[in-house]
């Protein structure tokens, strides 16, 4: 039973990873932070300017059709489209404490294919 962690323990470990990442990753208006949030049903991404303290663009997988990874890739491409309209070409990727595989990786690949550099 040592391999199975309780939900609270998993959440605490993710929060620790999240704070560790946020110490080093900062977004600016020229190079905003691409933040990923993953829920059981969908994936959400937004571009945040930490210097000003507001969100520049956002996209979610709500209303998209396909498997979870496919919807995440479409979300990344949609966010890249919004970002290029606003003149943003380069971002800093913040995986928000999640491991870089599955839906998080698919979102990043979709954003790269859409034209964002990170």
Output the six-digit token pair for 113: 């294919």
Residue 7 resides in a domain? no
What's 66's DSSP letter? S
Instruction: Give the model's pLDDT for residue 3.
Output: 55
pLDDT in tens, 57-115: 999 999 999 999 999 999 999 999 999 999 999 999 999 999 999 999 999 999 999 99
Residue 9 lies in a domain: no
| CATH code of the domain containing 34 | 3.30.420.100
Q: What is the 3-state secondary structure (H, E, C) of 72-91?
A: HHHHHHHHHHHHHHCCCCEC
Per-residue model confidence (pLDDT) at position 1: 44
Q: pTM of the prediction?
A: 0.85
Total number of domains constituting the chain:
1
What average pLDDT does range 15-42 have in this prediction?
A: 89
Task: Using the predicted structure, report yes or no on whether residue 2 has a pLDDT greater than 60.
Answer: no
Where in the sequence is the domain holding 80, given as residue range(s)?
A: 27-113
Residue 96 in domain: yes
């Amino acid at each position: 039973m040592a391999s199975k962690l309780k939900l609270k323990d998993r959440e605490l470990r993710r929060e620790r990873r999240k704070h560790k990442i946020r110490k080093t990753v900062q977004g600016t208006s020229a190079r905003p932070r691409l933040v990923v949030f993953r829920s059981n049903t969908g994936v959400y991404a937004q571009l945040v300017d930490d210097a000003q303290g507001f969100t520049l663009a956002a996209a979610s997988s709500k209303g998209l059709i396909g498997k979870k990874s496919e919807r995440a890739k479409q979300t990344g491409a949609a966010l890249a489209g919004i970002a290029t309209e606003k003149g943003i070409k380069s971002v800093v990727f913040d995986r928000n404490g999640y491991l870089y595989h599955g839906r998080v990786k698919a979102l990043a690949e979709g954003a790269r294919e859409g034209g964002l550099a990170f």
